[in-house]
Amino acid sequence: MSSQVANERLTIKGYRDKQVARKLVSMGILPGMTMKIVRISPFGRSFYIKVGNQIVAMRTDEYDQIVFE
């Protein structure tokens, strides 16, 4: 499980899972982009992240498939 904190900025390096990669790339969330964790749900099951001008809700299992620099 992820151990990230709110307001942390991370740069996306790639993806571990092809299905998650397709979903995120289709939403414009690409490797090389910097994302900011806006909020973590109370039980840590989902994240709100800001990438560019959009804020996206993401489940922990999807988030764990992102590789960061």
Per residue in 9-37, pLDDT (tens digit) is: 999 999 999 999 999 999 999 999 999 99
Q: Is residue 29 part of a domain?
A: yes
Instruction: Report the number of distinct structural domains present in the chain.
Output: 1
Assigned domain for 3 exists:
no
- Domain span including residue 47: 9-68
1 occurs within a structural domain = no
| Inside any domain, residue 48 | yes
Question: pTM of this prediction?
Answer: 0.82
- The reply to whether 2 falls in a domain is no
Owner of token pair 């960061």: 68
Task: Identify the three-state secondary structure at position 64.
Answer: coil
Q: Is residue 23 part of a domain?
A: yes
- Closest-CA residue to 63 (of 39, 47, 44, 40): 47
CATH number at residue 51: 2.30.30.90
